[in-house]
Amino acid sequence: MNITEVLAQAVERHHPRLVMLCSFQKEESVLVDELVRIAPGARIVTIDTGVLFPETLATWRAFEQRFGVDIEVQDATGDWTAANCCGAAKVEALERALVGADAWITGIRREQSPTRADAQEIEFDERRGLWKFNPLVDWTEKDLWRRISERDLPYNPLHDQGYASIGCAPCTAPGAGREGRWADSGKTECGLHV
């Protein structure tokens, strides 16, 4: 299936009990653009740790303006440091966002990391008892940038500064793939997708 088919299936089967998780990275530039074409009233949620990059906050505003959406916020502010990044507060915020949902949409791509290499377009999230849609699972970096360019989509300017993957300011450095995430730690995945 292509991105439109996966999202259309998610909407047909689960809307309005469908949540798209948005972190304002290049993947979400493409996903939000496509999702609002199919379901303008779709529920889009972000987790605000209180330590997002200023560029991420600006991208958030650009998404709301460009796509005509109000991004729902789940608060995960706290004493954030690189040592406790993506801990319980962030996972609890996700769990709150998913209350009452049957399914969620993510920007996971197989190319991103070995921990995501086996991801499927549609999976059942056993841990949460929800369907999980990964419409970009087969997309490459090149595919994302082509779509962003073709449709002149807003995207996080940190991508232009060497950040392939963008999380919170205390624990994200420039790097290819996901190597800039949780820099100088052995961590390879956030608590949201394990």
**How many domains is the chain built from?**
1
**Domain for residue 191, yes or no?**
no
Q: What are phi and psi of 135, to 5 degrees?
A: -65, -20
**Domain for residue 170, yes or no?**
no
pTM of the model: 0.90
**Domain for residue 9, yes or no?**
yes
Show Cβ contacts of residue 175 under 8 Å, excluding neighbours closer than 6 positions.
Answer: 162, 163, 164, 165, 181, 183
190 has catalytic annotation: yes
pLDDT at 103 over 90: yes
Task: Write the CATH number for 129.
Answer: 3.40.50.620
Containing domain of residue 141, as a range? 3-160
**Domain for residue 182, yes or no?**
no
**Domain for residue 190, yes or no?**
no
| Stronger pLDDT, 91 or 87, i.e. the higher one | 91
pLDDT band (50, 70, 90) for residue 84: low
**Considering the chain, what is the average pLDDT of its residues?**
90
**Domain for residue 96, yes or no?**
yes
Handedness of CA 124, 130, 131, 135 (dihedral sign): negative
**Calpha distance 93→162 (Å, rounded):** 28
| Stronger pLDDT, 42 or 1, i.e. the higher one | 42
**Domain for residue 189, yes or no?**
no
Q: Which of 22, 85, 86, 190 is catalytic?
A: 190
3-state DSSP assignment of residue 150: helix
**Domain for residue 34, yes or no?**
yes
| Mean pLDDT, residues 147-161 taken together | 97
End-to-end Cα distance, the chain:
25
